[in-house]
Amino acid sequence: MDTGFLRVLIDPGHFFEAQMQGEPGLKVPALIAIVVGLIAAVSTIPMAEITAAMLPADMQSLGVVMLVISAVAAFIGGFLGWIIYSLVFYLVSMAFKGEGDLKRTVEFVGYGLL
């Protein structure tokens, strides 16, 4: 069962077929969600710095607070996006009388964040 990490990008059909044979695991999808959250957090920093530079001189100290809050919110947003997407896919699957459990859906949506 060859389920290398790049296989999900190169040959997703075989990758997900192989994943269906084993137990659902959330370690790699959680790692992907962490990376997505980190990328989102890092990408908010330049915009927060630009916005902080536009603040009046007496409010410059709020720039650091705004930067931290923006980065933390973006990081948490990576995880929330993963969970929300998973729940939406699971609910749509239930509406169409699909089979499968939520853990498997969360796993596959995590791989889909790539």
Q: What's the total number of domains in the chain?
A: 1
Kindly state the tokens that stand for 85.
Answer: 């997407």
Domain span holding position 81: 25-112
Q: What is the mean pLDDT of residues 71-77?
A: 93
Does the CA dihedral 85-89-94-96 come out positive or negative? positive
Residue 68 inside a domain? The answer is yes
Residue 10 inside a domain? The answer is no
Residue 3 inside a domain? The answer is no
Residue 13 inside a domain? The answer is no
Residue 19 inside a domain? The answer is no
Residue 5 inside a domain? The answer is no
Which three-class secondary structure state does DSSP give residue 25? coil
* Residue in this structure with the two tokens 């790049």, named with its chain if needed: 6
Q: What is the model's pTM? A: 0.81
Q: Does residue 38 register a pLDDT over 70?
A: yes
16 CB-near residues (< 8 Å, 6+ apart): 8, 108, 111
Does the CA dihedral 36-38-39-45 come out positive or negative? positive
Residue 11 inside a domain? The answer is no
1 CB-near residues (< 8 Å, 6+ apart): 18, 21, 22
Residue 101 inside a domain? The answer is yes
The share of the chain scoring above pLDDT 90, in percent, equals 46
Model confidence pLDDT, tens digit, residues 5-26: 778 888 888 888 888 888 888 9
For residues 54 and 89, what is the distance between their CA atoms, to the nearest angstrom? 41
